[in-house]
Amino acid sequence: MSTDAGDAEGCAGTFTNGGRSYAVARLRFQGADAGREPLRIGLFSGVHGDEPSGPAALQRFLESLGRDPGRAAGYDLWVYPWVNPTGCERGTRENASGKDLNREFWRDSQEPEVRILEAELSRRRFHGLITLHADDTCEGHYGYTHGRPVEDSLLRPALEAAERALPRDGRPVIDGFSAKEGVITDCFTGILSPPPRQEPQPFNIIFETPASAPLELQVQAHVAALDAILAAYRSHVSYAEGL
């Protein structure tokens, strides 16, 4: 396998597998000027190729921003809908090499998709990351905050907004971790995340929908969560600037 960085709009990088070329797609939506440096946010989905709701939601979200761009005022959104293009093509959790990419980040992985995204994460120095997933073991939507207060303040309104489409998972243990009202503060290692040495560390929210729910309802929940997180972070930054 070989990889190439992709500086062109629409492509974060390319790689070959089995004699075929694949691209890690990259889209961008720049919101209206809000009188400050734009907040760079990375939006990711398709880390697991058998979770179609995330890519569909990011497409829906971008289309809706085109009709109502005010929702993205002050933001510079970098969107990666298909992190795992070979897995998305096959409909498998793993990539073509049989690796779960969400256990490979910042662990000297040789997987081309991971190397491409690690370079992007280092280059863009995002203020925040939001990754969309679907869980085939959950009973409702939930999310990960990694134990950071700022992430908790962003995830909770997202969970509330998503309840318009799907119920929240209220179990005390979700995906093997202790949870409270759909919030998990621990996480697996090797997940898609900011560079470990980036300072200050950006927020990193993972939002999960139940994979067994109808696709349309999952998409609605994802989009509602994205809107809520962006609104909450805008308020958080405005408050911090006013201190």
Long-range contacts of 3-10 (CB under 8 A, 24+ apart): 3/112, 3/115, 3/116, 5/116, 5/119, 6/116
Cα angle: 117, vertex 11, 69; to 5 degrees: 95
Is the CB of residue 227 less than 8 Å from the CB of residue 167?
no
Write down the pTM of the prediction.
0.94
Give the confidence band of 21 by pLDDT, cuts at 50, 70, 90. Answer: very high
**Assigned fold of 3-242:** Aminopeptidase (3.40.630)
What confidence tens digit (pLDDT) does each residue in 114-162 have?
999 999 999 999 999 999 999 999 989 999 999 899 999 999 999 999 9
Q: Which two tokens stand for residue 130?
A: 């939001």
For the chain, counts of helices (H) and of strands (E): 5, 11
Count other Cβ atoms within 10 Å, centred on residue 243: 4
What confidence tens digit (pLDDT) does each residue in 64-108 have?
999 999 999 999 999 999 999 999 999 999 999 999 999 999 999
Give Dmax over CA atoms of the chain in angstroms. Answer: 56
